[in-house]
Amino acid sequence: MTGFLDNAEIEIPCPKCGKKSKQRLGRLNNNSSIRCGFCGTIIELKTDGPGGLAQAKKSAEKSLADLKRSLGKLGR
Ligand SMILES: [Zn+2]
């Protein structure tokens, strides 16, 4: 289950160019900063607070839970 979540992608908005880079959660667990794929800016990631990594993880977990729930309904 942890591996599945690690492959979930979240979008990190770049403060400089405003474009969103998709990053895998598993990668973000080991890195506190990412490089914007569009302009090359290094984006320091916040771990908590609004727009922080903890919140992003929570929403990814929630959408996975929703997905599992709807899959479970289909299976019956
Ligand atoms: Zn950028």
Cα dihedral sign, 62-33-24-40: positive
pTM of the full structure: 0.57
Residues measured by CB to lie within 5 Å of ligand 1, the ion: 14, 16-17, 36, 38-39, 41
| pLDDT (0 to 100) of residue 51 | 67
| pLDDT (0 to 100) of residue 38 | 94
70: which 2 tokens? 């709807």
d(CA 74, CA 54): 30
Q: Does residue 58 fall inside a structural domain?
A: yes
Query: Are 25 and 57 contacting, i.e. CB atoms less than 8 angstroms apart?
Result: yes
Tens digit of each residue's pLDDT (9 = 90 or more) over 62-73: 888 998 899 888
| pLDDT (0 to 100) of residue 34 | 87
Tens digit of each residue's pLDDT (9 = 90 or more) over 4-57: 778 888 888 899 999 998 888 887 777 778 899 899 999 888 777 776 778 878
State the distance from the centre of ligand 1 to the C-alpha of 23, rounded, in angstroms.
13
What is the span of the domain harbouring residue 56?
A: 2-69
Name 73's Cβ contacts closer than 8 Å, sequence gap at least 6.
none
Name 38's Cβ contacts closer than 8 Å, sequence gap at least 6.
14, 17, 19, 21
Q: Does residue 39 fall inside a structural domain?
A: yes
Instruction: Please count the structural domains in the chain.
Output: 1
State the distance from the centre of ligand 1 to the C-alpha of 42, rounded, in angstroms.
8
